[in-house]
A and B are shown apart, each in its own frame.
Chain A
Amino acid sequence: MGEEITLNITRYNPDKDGKYTTQRYSIPYKNDWSILDALNYVKAELDGSLTYRWSCRMAVCGSCGMMVNGTPRLTCSTYLNEFYPKEITIEPLANFPVIRDLVVDINDFMAKLKSAKPWIIRKNKRDEDDTSKEYLQTTGQMDKYYQQTLCINCTLCYAACPVYGLHPDFLGPAVIALGHRYNKDSRDEGKADRREVLASEHGVWKCTVVGDCTEVCPKHVDPSAAIQRTKVDSAINWFFSFLTGRK
């Protein structure tokens, strides 16, 4: 027998008893295993009923987010050696309804994402269909939004956000960051379209600048800064429309 490490994994099966339980698994410890590798080992060798979501194994798809010892992490890029020889607790992402075991329901996030219109909007709708037209950008123009393009919709920021936990109506970090990303794109003309969502009661103003979204973001998108910049834009617009009477 080589070295072993213990995983405490949250189990939940609505078809069985609908209760949250914690199951302990002792697995071989391998220095180069990620937590996702360990979960795959559990599923293949110990308990085929364990349910979790994953795909790419390389921090690109954003599927394998879970709470690892209470912190939202991508399990594919979190390694056992960070915790060994201590036990590791793996739970489904906080602030989301659980479907089964470690799989959460992110429909709320998907609906909010769509509401922020994270795509390029042109005032002339024909521009959007005309694929022959080129829109040149300078490096400086791209630099304004590039950081936010790195978002992989893994929803770790939602699991970390205490405001989202308290107010489920809050638009949340990633959606605002992606709205900001298109607002800052020189090819985009949809700022006003997004404003009613981003600057709404449930938009940027709900954020209390806790900053945990930025802490946990595996792609360094810095949603917190994006939210604050959107606040500045929205406040300037608010003063402007207040003074001019324009909606």
Chain B
Amino acid sequence: MCLLKKINALEPLWWSLFGAGGMVAAFLLPAHIFIQGIAIPLGWVSPDMFNYSSLIGIVGNPIVKIYLFFMIILPLYHAAHRIRLTLEDLRIEWLNHILPLIFYGGATGLTVVTLIVLIRI
């Protein structure tokens, strides 16, 4: 379980990502959910402002890409850390050995996917 030891030794890193992700999830995500998930579909804002071509133009901006990158990946690590700790409290020995791998590995995998998608836009 050498890999597991290495993952556990990175605890300060996972916790920092968890903390940063918590901030993003608490402050930024609700605004995005409100604008993209509620306000636009319900027509509360002018559809002209948020049509495909204007949005793709915004997302194509490198600064927006960097913003989106962190806005997407930080909550992933937040969720990974929180779910891992919650499941660990169930005290299932064999499960605890693979939890860090599954969750931090999963979040890191999705980080790579996010990076690829953003670069290709």
A and B bind: yes
Taking CB atoms, residues of chain A closer than 8 Å to B16 are 235, 239
Q: Is the CB of A205 within 8 A of B89?
A: no
Decide: B91 and A166 in contact? CB cutoff 8 A.
yes
- Which residues 209-247 in A have Cβ within 8 Å of B in the complex? 231-232, 234-235, 238-239
Closest Cβ of chain B: how far from A235's Cβ, in Å?
Answer: 4
A220 CA to B99 CA, complexed, in Å = 35
Main SS of the interface on chain B? helix
Instruction: Determine if B15 is an interface residue (Cβ-Cβ < 8 Å).
Output: yes
Contact (Cβ within 8 A) B85 A208? yes
Inter-chain contact B91/A205, CB cutoff 8 Å:
no
Q: CB of B12 within 8 A of chain A?
A: yes
Given known A162-B89, A208-B85, contact A238–B8 (CB-CB < 8 A): no
A234, B12: Cα distance in complex, Å: 7
- Complex A-B: 25 CB contacts under 8 Å: A162-B89, A163-B89, A166-B89, A166-B91, A199-B12, A201-B11, A205-B11, A205-B12, A205-B15, A208-B85, A208-B86, A208-B89, A231-B15, A231-B19, A232-B19, A234-B12, A235-B12, A235-B13, A235-B16, A235-B19, A238-B12, A238-B13, A239-B12, A239-B13, A239-B16
Complex: A208 Cα to B88 Cα, angstroms: 10
Residue total for A at the interface (Cβ-Cβ under 8 A): 13
Residue of A nearest to B12 (CB): A238
What is the CB-to-nearest-CB distance from A246 to chain B, in angstroms, rounded to a whole number?
Answer: 15
Complexed CA–CA distance, A234 and B85 (Å): 19
Q: Residue of B at shortest CB range from A205? A: B11
- Which A residues form the contact surface with B (CB < 8 A)? 162-163, 166, 199, 201, 205, 208, 231-232, 234-235, 238-239
Interface residues on B, range: 10 to 19
Interface centre among B8, B11, B12 (most CB of A within 10 A): B12
Can you list, as one digit per residue, whether each of B6-21 has a CB less than 8 Å from chain A (1) or not (0)? Answer: 0010011101100100
Chain B residues in contact with chain A, CB under 8 A?
Answer: 8, 11-13, 15-16, 19, 85-86, 89, 91
Write the chain A residue with the least CB distance to B8: A201
Nearest to A165 among chain B residues (CB) is B89
Contacts A201-B11, A205-B11, A239-B13 aside, 9 further interface pairs with beta carbons under 8 A come to: A163-B89, A166-B91, A199-B12, A201-B8, A205-B15, A235-B12, A235-B16, A238-B12, A238-B13
The chain A residue with its CB closest to the CB of B82 is A208
- Bound: A199/B15 CA distance, A: 12
Docked pose: A239 CA to B86 CA in angstroms? 26
User: Which residues from chain B contact A201 at a C-beta distance below 8 Å?
Assistant: 8, 11
Contacts of B13 on A, CB cut-off 8 Å?
A: 235, 238-239
Residues of B near A163 (CB, < 8 A) are 89
- Provide the residues of chain A in CB contact with B86, threshold 8 Å: 208
5 smallest beta-carbon distances between A and B, as pairs: A238-B12, A235-B12, A205-B11, A208-B85, A235-B16
